[in-house]
Amino acid sequence: MRHLLSIADLDAQAASTLLDTADRLEQTLLGRQVRKLPTLRGRTVVTVFYENSTRTRVSFEIAGKWMSADVINVSIGGSSVGKGESLRDTALTLAAAGADCVVVRHPASGAAHRLAQWLAHTGVAVVNAGDGTHEHPTQALLDAQTLRQRLGDIAGRRIAVVGDVLHSRVARSNVLLLTLLGAQVVLVAPPTLLPSGVGSWPVEVSHDLDAVLGGVDAVMMLRVQAERMHGGFFPSAREYAVDYGLNRRRLDLLPEHAPVLHPGPMLRGMEISSAVADSGRALVTEQVRNGVHLRMAVLYHLLAGEEVE
Amino acid sequence: MTSTEIDSSPVLLRGVRPYGEGEPVDLLVADGRIVAIDAAGSVDAGQAEVVDAAGLVALPGFVDLHTHLREPGREDAETIDTGSASATLGGYTAVFAMANTDPVADNAVLVEHVWRRGREVGLVDVHPVGAVTVGLGGERLAELGGMARSAAQVRMFSDDGVCVADPLLMRRALEYSSVLGATIAQHAEEPRLTVGAQAHEGERAALLGLAGWPAAAEESIVARDCLLAHRTGGRLHVCHVSTAGTVEVLRWAAGPLAALPTLAAGGRPGRVSAEVTPHHLLLTDERLATYDPVNKVNPPLRTEADTLALRAALAEGVIDCVATDHAPHAPQDKDCEWSAARPGMLGLETALSVVVETMVTTGLLDWRGVARVMSERPAELVGLADQGRPIAVGEPASLVLIDPTAHWTVRGSESASLADNTPFEGMRLPARVVATMLRGRFTARDGKVLRWIDSC
Ligand SMILES: [Zn+2]
């Protein structure tokens, strides 16, 4: 594995290996007072975030530090974004300054791919930490890890992904990964929040959350960006909550064993009611914890020289 | 001295095949005109330079209704000089320079400047396109009459790059320009349907997370404008048609719609024409997978079904002509992330080969058909008197000579354009322009541009 740009770059074997490595790393660290492995000593990981995301950045930072890598965080504010040359120049600067791995979050779809192209002549690895409305592969991997811990095998499971699929990089990565691992995916959203090419995806599509819930093994709720609410994608937050929000009543429709996932931050009362969010069925903290181990696994396979394939 | 005043020395093309048809002939050119055509070997060269043209196809020089020359304003991307050089290497003898320069060509002074600069360079006839609205702002009509009456004699107006989206303003533009004998060329893109659009709306864009540019955004504007043109008697030219649905709208406009009565003054019927670019004939949105912005263009690359519909429509005449939408860009405007990159592709030097690849080798057009869509029809649409003329005695000697058997590999770095943003980089394409002649004088020969200063 040279970069992690997209789930589409992984096969089932490589994806499972990453999840297994994350498991192994978690076990290794379990019960330790000093959570530090020497694995990546002397390697430099730079996180470059063109969009705010404390959650994801901190997760990568802790992952790197627990493996003794030097982690440097770079935040580039919104004003310089849109200046196309800045990403390319930043990439070349980081390579020249000696970065071994660049973790990038960027508002443009494909930004991580472009970064990898510009860094092709260097040895620098690129991890996509979210590019526009394209993908967020480590989020999908940590979601899969969370599901695997709760459900055992993912293959043959039926998983609902609910909400703003159109703008969600989390949904794209999850559809690819869950189907790669043998799950059936049902997308539940109003037609305005589904991409127009969705008909060719290996998924089912529904606009009726109530009808779907009884037959699934897990529900993944997606974030609705605040700026979408007045963009005419749906009439109002209230109507969205009524039709697509996960509330107490709907939780009861869900089979006993089925957990609820949410990539956070949650819009309580709209996407998910507090009763659901704070119930034992929501695995939000597990997702965050698994995020660190999973990102350790990704950095390990990219930087410790061990092939995932 | 300008190109039109040059007294060219006579040239005898030995063994050439006009339109690729019939037996080879000798074609004698003098004083800017074709003065003799007769069986190969039979024409007396006299004082003429004899050029061995055996095996070459002669067509009337190509006319491009849609070129971006970037001057004034972005001379780092292209100039009238480098764009003209690129055009002549591609077999063109006339190009229409779009108005979206900086400043915008929305007044007589500016269009005259572009026209005059084109004459100084002298490689192709540069016809400025005037803006429809002031500053391409889409709010009030530019002085169309002033531009039409200027030395540049503007006959085509376009806000290309943006759509004249306001239906009332579009109606007025069609009405007003109709008495000027001018055409309104529309970049058909309903702006509300393409907010943030980055790629053709469909499977590929959904997968790549690029906001979609729906086919209906083009089709709805074309349908609206066809209605307006028909009812007002205006002349509408649809730029860079990109979807199968637009082709169907054009069929409807030429058939059922045209049969309805018009309310235009004097009962003058409206007229609708359309162009397609070489890249929309050949390339599809499958090319987007790498996010390389060299493939970013507006309207975007569409699906294979669209390319097939466009080819069929061009062959049938539902689409009138090929236009390049040659859009050079400086490296920093292309070598960046997809959303930050400017849309556009080079096109002048590859147009013939792409048309041959998509239309001739597929059996959809013969060489006479190529002449129709790349030369005769575009010249006719904008009323050029001495371009796109038949290859016949007494006609102007503006010609392109083509090696129909050649193959070549496209290299952006070898282009005469200042830019190198060609989507055909590394592609092996058929047919090659060997020489271009503007009113009896070679402007390009064997891959080299022949400037007036060189030919003295
Ligand atoms: Zn355009």
**Could you tell me how far CA A236 lies from the centroid of its own chain?**
27
| Averaged pLDDT, B1-13 | 66
CATH topology assigned to domain A7-136+288-303: Rossmann fold (3.40.50)
Residues A262-272 as b/e (b if ≥16 CB within 10 A, e otherwise) read bbeebbeebbb
A182 is in an annotated binding site: no
Give the per-residue pLDDT at B268.
Answer: 74
* CA-wise closest residue to A83 among B288, B385, B141, B341: B341
| Distance, CA of A102 to CA of A273 (rounded, Å) | 37
A188 C-alpha to center of ligand 1: Å?
37
Torsion of CA A270, A271, A276, A282, to 10 degrees: -150
CATH topology assigned to domain A137-286: Rossmann fold (3.40.50)
| Distance, CA of A47 to CA of A224 (rounded, Å) | 25
Give the per-residue pLDDT at A307.
Answer: 46
pLDDT in tens, B275-291: 999 999 999 999 999 99
How many Cβ atoms from other residues are within 10 Å of residue A232's Cβ? 8
Q: Which of residues A1 and B225 earns the better pLDDT score?
A: B225
| Averaged pLDDT, B211-223 | 98
B298 C-alpha to center of ligand 1: Å?
6
Question: A81-95, A113-127, A210-224: which range is least confident on average?
Answer: A81-95
Give the per-residue pLDDT at B265.
Answer: 67
**Domain-wise residue ranges, chain A:** 7-136+288-303, 137-286
* CA-wise closest residue to B381 among B227, B273, B240, B303: B273
Cα distances (Å, whole numbers) of residue B16 to B23, B58, B129, B309, B404: 9, 7, 34, 34, 12
pLDDT in tens, B127-143: 999 999 999 999 999 99
Whether residue B210 and residue A134 make contact (CB cut-off 8 A), yes or no, is yes
| Averaged pLDDT, A118-126 | 94
Could you tell me the pLDDT band of residue A71, with boundaries at 50, 70 and 90?
very high
Give the per-residue pLDDT at A264.
Answer: 86
Q: Which of residues B353 and A90 earns the better pLDDT score?
A: B353
Selecting from B203, B332, B337 the residue whose C-beta is nearest the C-beta of A110 gives B337
Question: A265-269, B14-18, B376-380: which range is least confident on average?
Answer: A265-269
A164 pLDDT higher than 60 = yes
pTM for this prediction: 0.92
pLDDT in tens, A235-264: 888 999 999 999 999 999 999 999 999 998
**Judging by DSSP bridges, how do beta strands B62-67 and B11-18 pair with one another?**
unpaired
B261 pLDDT higher than 90 = no
Give the per-residue pLDDT at A309.
Answer: 38
Residues B260-291 as b/e (b if ≥16 CB within 10 A, e otherwise) read eebebeeeeebbbbbbbbbbbbbbbbeebeeb
pLDDT in tens, B274-332: 999 999 999 999 999 999 999 999 999 999 999 999 999 999 999 999 999 999 999 99
How many Cβ atoms from other residues are within 10 Å of residue B97's Cβ? 28
Give the per-residue pLDDT at A83.
Answer: 52
Give the per-residue pLDDT at B266.
Answer: 67
pLDDT in tens, B66-113: 999 999 999 999 999 999 999 999 999 999 999 999 999 999 999 999
Give the per-residue pLDDT at B452.
Answer: 72
3-state secondary structure of B336: coil
A38 is in an annotated binding site: no
| Distance, CA of B100 to CA of B327 (rounded, Å) | 11
Neighbouring residues of the ion ligand 1, judged by CB less than 5 Å = B 160, 187
Cα distances (Å, whole numbers) of residue A234 to A213, A266, B58, B209, B442: 21, 18, 60, 20, 62
Instruction: Collect all residues of chain A within an 8 Å Cβ-Cβ radius of residue B204.
Output: 197
**DSSP secondary structure, B70-118, as one string:** -TTT-TTT--HHHHHHHHHHTTEEEEEE-S-SSS-S-SHHHHHHHHHHH
Q: Token pair for residue B342? A: 């400017």
Residue among A117, A133, A203 with most chain B CBs within 10 A, to mutate: A133
Give the per-residue pLDDT at B1.
Answer: 36
Give the per-residue pLDDT at B23.
Answer: 96
Could you tell me the pLDDT band of residue B455, with boundaries at 50, 70 and 90?
very low
A17 is in an annotated binding site: no
| Distance, CA of B118 to CA of B88 (rounded, Å) | 12
Specify the DSSP element, H or E, that contains A286: helix A284-303
Based on the residue annotation, tell me whether B106 is a catalytic residue of this protein. Answer: no
Query: Which DSSP state fits B299?
Result: S
* CA-wise closest residue to B315 among B270, B368, B384: B368
| Averaged pLDDT, B185-195 | 97
Q: Which of residues A82 and B122 earns the better pLDDT score?
A: B122
Q: Token pair for residue B37? A: 């055509």
CB contact at 8 A, A113 and B291:
yes
3-state secondary structure of A246: strand
Q: Token pair for residue A175? A: 């559809």
* B52 CB-contact burial (10 Å; exposed 0-12 / middle 13-18 / buried 19+): exposed
| Averaged pLDDT, B416-424 | 96
Average pLDDT, chain B: 95
| Averaged pLDDT, B395-417 | 97
Give the per-residue pLDDT at A79.
Answer: 52
With CA atoms as reference, the chain A residue closest to B342 would be: A84
Average pLDDT, chain A: 92
CB contact at 8 A, A210 and A252:
no
What ipTM is given for this predicted complex?
0.87
| Averaged pLDDT, B4-23 | 85
